[in-house]
Amino acid sequence: MNQSTSLRILYVFCDYLSTLAALLLFVVVRFHLEPVAHMMGSVGAMMSTTMVRLELLLFPLLMLFVYWLTGYYNEVIMKSRLQELLETLHSALVGMAVFFLIAMINDVDADRFNTYKLISILAAILFSCTYLMRVALTTAVRKRVADGRICRHTLIVGTGPKADSMYARLKKVSRVMGFQVEGFVSTGKSADNCLRNCNVPVYTIDSLKNMIASGSIQTLVVISDDAGINPTLEIINKLLPLECDVLVDAEFYQKLSAPVRTQNIIGEPLVDVSHPMISGSTANIKRFFDVAISAVALLLIWPFMLVLALLVRMDSPGPAIYRQERIGRHKKPFTIYKFRSMYINAESSGPSLSSPADTRITPLGRRLRKYRLDELPQLWNVLRGDMSLVGPRPEREYFIRQIVEKAPSYTLVQQVRPGLTSWGMVKFGYASTVDQMVQRLRYELMYIDNISILLDFRIIIYTIKIVLTGKGI
């Protein structure tokens, strides 16, 4: 278990204790301020009631879910104190509203002002208990980071003078950013400068997988190649599937036609290319809606999907469900599921894109594509976590290589889960050539730069409109 996981568990445990303590204190306050409560005789008698026991059992667990939705547990080593204050206040207000709607909206106390006063007190107690516990824990963690006892074990990918310079800069800000450079990763060039000036080990890229899997390395800082963007992108593409933070300098990131946004004003200006620049709350809420909507949709429409599967089997020989390998987040391959819309062996001569007049498409398949019904089985991909409801459309490795040659910024698409629908599909539609895929890419990059829950819902609404009007192709 690495340091981040241990700290995350500790934060969750402390939040549970502080929330439970806040609720116990609120029960005491409620006993003294709510006239009806006096009829129970004592605080102990009030706590022994079924309703209060349920509150004590379920409310802390519900609040842990709220804390997760705010993204509080996403980053545990280098927390922003201001962000921590705002997230705790927001969570307390949400907890107040939830408790009122579930436990107090039907309160028998006729004095509604007293009820509102009580839930305001609950918010204040919940905020105070949770924030004090969090501040104490975060202060202790920061002290351990400054002492070097908690750190982000880091490797610099690249060798030579630029890597040597990065090593010196990261050592200088280690007390602030928590980087502990464990060595360099050779990309095939001479490592003499690093060995002579820094006296740290140099590893190969092939050895990274085991090091990261063992938890001994959490962060990779990639040094951009002076020869151009493509050599550095090739390295990044090798590192993305390793499931660790991959950072580049801001200057290189800007070369990908991507704006740099950061709140870090003290440490080294590095940009994480393995994750989109969105808040933890947006990422978690997005995933929550992915799971909830896909699960409900599958439960509701499975009879309809069964009918479609039978129609596909009747329309032409072959299986109803078509499986194909696509490349997902962090360049991880996954199996995508679709209702088969082409005749079997349609790509016997190699991968090729379809077009509106494609003779490989079956009669029923043309109707399925028009209304995007062939995509429905991908709800299972969304539920599994391979995909999201909204995100850049997943492509095959064969076409990705061609896209990257024309548009290196495609690498940024793999920061996020691919989507069942996307801004590119709504605005551009299907692509029948690689050049059209490159044109559609600008919408996918715009999406990544503007990800929000509201934008996702707008794209879903437009997708539903396309489905209902049959403008899929």
| Segment 409-450, tens digit of pLDDT | 888 888 899 999 999 888 887 888 889 999 999 899 889 888
Q: Which has the closest alpha carbon to 257: 442, 450, 452, 455?
A: 442
Quote the pLDDT of residue 172.
84
This prediction has a pTM of 0.85
Q: Could you tell me the CATH superfamily of domain 152-272? A: NAD(P)-binding Rossmann-like Domain (3.40.50.720)
Residue pair 159/220 in contact (Cβ under 8 Å)? The answer is: no
Phi, psi angles (nearest 5°) of residue 279: -70, 155
Give helix 112-147 / helix 3-33 axis angle, nearest 10°. 150
Cα→Cα distances 318→177, 301, 315, 323, 381, Å: 56, 23, 9, 12, 22
CA–CA dist 271, 248 (Å, integer): 5
4 vs 154, more confident: 154
Residue pair 309/325 in contact (Cβ under 8 Å)? The answer is: no
What strand order describes the sheet that includes 152-157?
A: 202-204, 179-186, 152-157, 219-222, 245-249, 270-272
- Dihedral class, residue 199 (left if φ above 0, else alpha if ψ from -120 to 50, else beta): left
Give the chain's mean pLDDT. 86
CA–CA dist 162, 168 (Å, integer): 10
Residue pair 342/360 in contact (Cβ under 8 Å)? The answer is: yes
The answer to which of 188-192, 281-285, 435-439 has the lowest mean pLDDT is 188-192
Residue pair 323/386 in contact (Cβ under 8 Å)? The answer is: no
- Dihedral class, residue 429 (left if φ above 0, else alpha if ψ from -120 to 50, else beta): left
Element (H, E) at 68: helix 50-69
Phi, psi angles (nearest 5°) of residue 312: -65, -45
The answer to which of 277-286, 344-353, 375-384, 435-444 has the lowest mean pLDDT is 344-353
CA–CA dist 64, 328 (Å, integer): 29
List the domain boundaries for the chain.
3-147, 152-272, 280-469
CA atoms within 13 A on the CB side of 238: 17
Q: Which has the closest alpha carbon to 287: 426, 453, 447?
A: 453
Question: CB atoms < 10 A from the CB of 296, how many?
Answer: 11
Residue pair 442/457 in contact (Cβ under 8 Å)? The answer is: no
Per residue in 79-127, pLDDT (tens digit) is 888 889 999 999 999 988 888 888 766 555 556 677 788 889 999 999 9
Q: Over range 64-70, report the average pLDDT.
A: 94
CA–CA dist 146, 132 (Å, integer): 21
Q: Is 236 exposed, middle or buried (0-12, 13-18, 19+ CB in 10 A)?
A: buried
CA atoms within 13 A on the CB side of 44: 0
Kindly indicate the confidence band of residue 192, based on its pLDDT and cuts at 50, 70 and 90.
very low
CA–CA dist 44, 275 (Å, integer): 49
CA–CA dist 312, 304 (Å, integer): 12
Chain centre distance of CA 252: 23
